[in-house]
Amino acid sequence: MNIDQENFEVEVIYALPTQQKRIQIKVAPGTTCIEAVKQSEIAAFFPEIDLENVKLGIFSRLVKNHEVLVPGQRVEIYRPLIADPKDVRRKRAEKAKDEGRINKKTGGKV
């Protein structure tokens, strides 16, 4: 067996506001992100994870589920957003206008 063909370790992580789970697994070369998540069986701990539509990342960088892993990477499972950041920002700006904290024409601070 060549060194290039040896299994290597990666980490799969999922976090909630109150808890997190980190699982280290050994995978074969050519393993994709979604295969590593399935191999880790993290969905047994968190049944709300939808493996068909899950968004994944490697060290805070969004990746495609079929991206091939390299040794030492950490696959992060992202939760769906509760609110759209653009909508939240827009509502906050409208509230500031209504309260007179910003100029209604320019949008700058008063």
In 3D space, the residue among 31, 110, 108, 40 whose CA is nearest the CA of residue 77 turns out to be: 40
If phi > 0 it is left, if psi is from -120 to 50 it is alpha, else beta; for residue 82 that is alpha
**Residue 1 per-residue DSSP state:** -
- 52 three-state secondary structure: coil
Q: With 90 as the cut, is the pLDDT of residue 66 above it? A: yes
Q: With 70 as the cut, is the pLDDT of residue 76 above it? A: yes
Question: For the chain, which residues make up each domain, given as ranges?
Answer: 8-88
Domain 8-88, architecture per CATH: Roll (3.10)
pLDDT at 44: 93
Question: What whole-number percentage of the chain has pLDDT above 70?
Answer: 92
What is the Cβ-side half-sphere exposure of residue 4, based on CA atoms within 13 angstroms? 1
- Structure token digits, residue 37: 């998540």
